[in-house]
Amino acid sequence: MSKILLWSAALTLALDQITKVVVVFWMELISKGQIDVWPGFVQFHMAWNTGINFGLFAGQGDLVRWFLVAVALVVCGFVGFWMRDEKKPIALIAAGLVIGGALGNSLDRVLYGSVADFLNVTCCGFYNPYAFNVADITIFVGLFGLVIFSTDHKNS
């Protein structure tokens, strides 16, 4: 794997875990449940997600927990293998965002049994019941970047 991809993944993983430690534990969101950051728009809202996006498959126990860790590791391996000949730095960074985010959420599952979600954005009188984290953002941005910027290796 390229150094760019590895650095991108490592920095993404570090940023995800640091934000979780700061917000969930140091700012005591774990006990407060909610902290207004920008009232009416951004709040920290503690949510332990045992499932996948939007809590899908939540509450299924350790089997789903370890299955999701395994799936994330397979995805990381696939993305790393797919990017083995990639030359575009932006595509390698995008791959690192995906891998780092997947590892961040997987580490949560290993350490806590679920993923620590805390970011909640609402607007204009619309109540958003869902929370997410830095890893979720990086996975989304990284996948978008891979679609847009990765080289088609079949034709290179």
Respond yes or no: is residue 117 known to be catalytic: yes
Q: Tell me the two tokens of residue 141.
A: 């941005």
Cα four-point dihedral sign 60, 142, 152, 73: negative
State how far the Cα of 15 lies from the Cα of 155, in Å rounded to an integer: 35
User: What are the C-alpha distances in Å from 6 to residues 17, 80, 112?
Assistant: 16, 9, 25
Give kind and range of the element (H or E) at residue 22: none
Respond yes or no: is residue 136 known to be catalytic: yes
Q: Which of 16, 108, 136, 152 is catalytic?
A: 136
Q: Which of 16, 36, 117, 152 is catalytic?
A: 117
CA dihedral 62, 68, 69, 71 (to 10 degrees): 140
Question: For 55, which DSSP code?
Answer: G
Among candidate residues 26, 49, 28, 29, the one with its CA nearest the CA of residue 117: 49
Residues classed as catalytic? 117, 136
